[in-house]
Structure 1
Amino acid sequence: MFNILDKADNVTGAVRAWLNPCVKAPIGFGAKAVALLVLLMAGNGSFAADLISITPNPPPTLNFPSIITMGRDNPNPYGPTVEQTFQVTLGQDVACNINRYIEIGSIPVTGTGSAEGVFKTGLSGIGVLLKMTRVLGGDVNDLKPLVSGSLGTLSDPGRNKGSYPIKISATLVPLKNGGAASGNVGSLPYIKLTLGAFGCMSGGPSVVQYLGSGTISGATTCSINPANAALSFQLQAVDSKDLPTIGSNAGGQARLLNVDCGDARPNMFATFTDSTNPGNRSDKLTLVDAEDDSTAKGVALQLVIATPDEGAKLISFGPDSSAAGTANQIHLVNTATRPGSSGYIFTIIARYVRTGTITPGRVNGLATYTMSYQ
């Protein structure tokens, strides 16, 4: 027999929970007021009734999902997009430009980091991104942000008789440094879109599009039970015969991590970081190399986590970051698929793994974990 770990203080599993205090909590929207208006206005004067037509008319109301969760740690935490596709039908070949005039009844969001096409709503910290198909007869999904008061060409001269799709989309977005509060979004902008074949006709058809707005609930981020937020493992001694070959493992010990999400429904991830060697991207935890701290050779430590959605996973280590897409970030659970749950328990197992010729002694390691709510 030999001791790789022989006392309770030989291994420290000081695993700390890092939260990003600079990123806002997930927010949800519930369907409520009707507020966004997309209006294709007719110009003054007469025009050939069969030159341009738009369908469907009237179009159905577009509604956001009743509950929307935006990821706290996602670098682009946009809400869902609602969109309507119209068919613009030309009753005859058109030899002049087809133009559209945009008027938006809201103030555009300005300042550092602001994107074109984002307009203010009635709720601080929440904007709406408005887009429309760039070119009639092109890719209907090639969308261009809308700018209020702009007169632009939707199609160059020479457009043949036929039917062409255009799309209008709206996306609720969190504003940088907006400090979004809970409540009804309200006061969403309206859009006036006037189509006309100027030079060929003096007006165009009309269609009205409404969008159902939402209410943001004051949902909070998830929290970790402080009683087990710092996980400590004291592995028992093992015999060399329990680790017969390189890659074999033994001596597993489990600890539970309790996470409570309340009413929030994020997609939950975690990244584990090797504290001794933060650049480590392998699945083997670097041993603490202080004097008399880790004296064993040919062995390392591994961590395994059991998740509700995907079962047991061997943990590979990554950087100390909550950003979406971080290297070796592990998916834990999509809480949106478990509407009746608020608390989640994850089992984390520490174990020995053989890496080479074994020299008896102690083994100590230190890691941290970073939760990410997306």
Structure 2
Amino acid sequence: MLVGLRAMLCIVSIVAALPAHAGTLAFPSTGSMPVLSFSATVSAGRDTAPGTALSQAFGNAGLAVSGTDCTITQDISVNGTLVPGYTNVYQTGVPGIGVRFYITAGWNGGWTDASSSQFNKTDGGTAHYTRADLVVTGPVGGGTTSNLPSMFIKFTGSCIETVTATQTLTGSTSVTGNGCSLTTPTLAFTLPRAFSKNLPSIGATTGDTTLSLGLNCPAGVKVGITVTDAVNPANRSSSLSLAPGSSAAGVGVQIVNGATLVSFGPDSAVAGTVNQWIAGTSAGGAMQVPLTARYVRTSSKLVPGSVNGKATFTMSYQ
């Protein structure tokens, strides 16, 4: 007799419901960010060095963090149009003026303008600062800022709900690019007759003749000057080349600013260009820059004759 055997297999499935997020990260109120605005008016020299901050705005939105046990990533993006040639400065509608954003690097850390960063924190309040700089990006024009960029911030992590906020800029800024006018656009030095005995050796000088370059400037403008050899623009020495029509040889012309010998540079108004020198900072109104021209012996062989030289002055208003 056959006996049927029957077995029963029982599978018990237990599913534990785990919370999707174990901690919290939040602003004092959803999406809250401080109100940032720049000065109502700013002014700068036309050729102020790029990167110079003309106005800064700071804010602390604050963050509350509790129970987190994962890596939190802070992602930053900016809604704006980049200034050509820059990767982190945005247009303002005023030539030569842009906006750069910064944010706290981590909890209470230093400033960063990177697109993202990662950090951990268990709980407690944090300082969460934002900053915006109104910076020079090129020759400063005049106008009023408009359509200012904004910064979008997002915090993500496996242990928190995603948190977002937008940092905006309010108001507008009137920008003035300061420059000077030349009251003596041309200087014509007439050096006295010199003799070989006045130039006994290479490097000897004679015939000092002084004239003043006149300007009219707003107060506070730092005036830089670059002198360029018009006959040989690549000349970076302190001896001006002789111009066509000169019959002398073994002699050149030097230009002296006060007691300082001037070396020649490129025809450029960019702040800090090669051999640019600072004539001073205007108190407002007329400004005089005394310059002296003189002969200099440049060779062991000295040939008598006429001496002509040509140079251009490029002004930089910083």
TM-score (norm 2): 0.70
| Helix, strand or coil at the partner of 1:241 | helix
Displacement of 1:90: 8.2
Q: 1:193-233: CA deviations, max 9, x gaps?
A: 4546x443447799x988675532555532212xx311111
Separation in structure 2 between the aligned mates of residue 318 and residue 170 of structure 1, nearest angstrom: 36
Q: What stretches of structure 1 of length at least 5 have no aligned partner? A: 1-45, 146-151, 307-311
Q: Look up the match of 2:311.
A: 367
Contact 1:140 / 1:166 at 8 angstroms: preserved in 2? no
Q: How many residues align?
A: 293
Residue correspondence of structure 1 range 48-59 to structure 2 within 5 A? none
Q: Look up the match of 1:109.
A: 81
Question: Compared with structure 1, are the counterparts of its residues 77 and 69 closer, same or farther at alpha carbon in structure 2 (3 Å cutoff)?
Answer: farther
Q: Look up the match of 2:99.
A: 128
Contact 1:253 / 1:351 at 8 angstroms: preserved in 2? yes
Displacement of 1:130: 2.2
Displacement of 1:373: 2.2
Q: Look up the match of 1:232.
A: 188
Q: Look up the match of 2:43.
A: 69
Q: Look up the match of 2:288.
A: 345
| Helix, strand or coil at the partner of 2:235 | coil
Higher relative contact order (CA 8 A, sep 6+): 1
Q: Which residue, 46, 51, 54 being the options, matches 1:80?
A: 54
In structure 2, give the amino acid aligned to 1:347: P
Q: 1:233-282: CA deviations, max 9, x gaps?
A: 1111234333344322221111111112246x443212111122222111
Q: 1:306-359: CA deviations, max 9, x gaps?
A: 4xxxxx421111122223332211222234xx3xx1321111111112233434
| Helix, strand or coil at the partner of 2:267 | coil
Residue correspondence of structure 1 range 9-20 to structure 2 within 5 A? none
Separation in structure 2 between the aligned mates of residue 117 and residue 238 of structure 1, nearest angstrom: 58
Question: Compared with structure 1, are the counterparts of its residues 162 and 302 closer, same or farther at alpha carbon in structure 2 (3 Å cutoff)?
Answer: farther
Question: Compared with structure 1, are the counterparts of its residues 115 and 245 closer, same or farther at alpha carbon in structure 2 (3 Å cutoff)?
Answer: closer
Q: 1:157-190: CA deviations, max 9, x gaps?
A: x65679977653312257889x96534x366455
Q: What stretches of structure 2 of length at least 5 have no aligned partner? A: 1-20
| Helix, strand or coil at the partner of 2:114 | strand
Separation in structure 1 between the aligned mates of residue 41 and residue 174 of structure 2, nearest angstrom: 8
Separation in structure 1 between the aligned mates of residue 131 and residue 35 of structure 2, nearest angstrom: 13
Q: Look up the match of 1:277.
A: 232
Q: Percent of counterpart pairs with the same letter?
A: 29
Question: Compared with structure 1, are the counterparts of its residues 217 and 81 closer, same or farther at alpha carbon in structure 2 (3 Å cutoff)?
Answer: closer
Q: Look up the match of 2:256.
A: 304
Question: Compared with structure 1, are the counterparts of its residues 60 and 268 closer, same or farther at alpha carbon in structure 2 (3 Å cutoff)?
Answer: farther
Question: Compared with structure 1, are the counterparts of its residues 47 and 371 closer, same or farther at alpha carbon in structure 2 (3 Å cutoff)?
Answer: same
Separation in structure 2 between the aligned mates of residue 88 and residue 285 of structure 1, nearest angstrom: 62
| Helix, strand or coil at the partner of 2:43 | coil
After the TM superposition, which of the residue ranges 214-223 and 326-335 deviates more from structure 2? 214-223
In structure 2, give the amino acid aligned to 1:95: D
| Helix, strand or coil at the partner of 1:278 | coil
Is residue 216 of structure 1 aligned with residue 216 of structure 2?
A: no
Structural RMSD (CA): 4.4
Contact 2:269 / 2:315 at 8 angstroms: preserved in 1? yes
Contact 2:36 / 2:168 at 8 angstroms: preserved in 1? yes
Separation in structure 2 between the aligned mates of residue 281 and residue 222 of structure 1, nearest angstrom: 26
Displacement of 1:109: 1.2
Question: Compared with structure 1, are the counterparts of its residues 187 and 366 closer, same or farther at alpha carbon in structure 2 (3 Å cutoff)?
Answer: closer
| Helix, strand or coil at the partner of 1:324 | coil
Question: Compared with structure 1, are the counterparts of its residues 108 and 94 closer, same or farther at alpha carbon in structure 2 (3 Å cutoff)?
Answer: same
In structure 1, give the amino acid aligned to 2:207: G
Question: Compared with structure 1, are the counterparts of its residues 344 and 62 closer, same or farther at alpha carbon in structure 2 (3 Å cutoff)?
Answer: farther
Residue correspondence of structure 1 range 41-190 to structure 2 within 5 A? 64=38, 68-73=42-47, 76=50, 79-80=53-54, 82=56, 84=58, 94-100=68-74, 108-109=80-81, 113=84, 115-119=86-90, 121=92, 123=93, 125=95, 127-133=98-104, 135-136=105-106, 140-144=110-114, 154-155=117-118, 167-173=129-135, 182-183=143-144, 185=145, 188-189=148-149
Is residue 322 of structure 1 aligned with residue 292 of structure 2?
A: no
TM-score (norm 1): 0.61
Is residue 294 of structure 1 aligned with residue 247 of structure 2?
A: yes
Q: Which structure's CA Rg is the greater one?
A: 2
Is residue 250 of structure 1 aligned with residue 209 of structure 2?
A: no
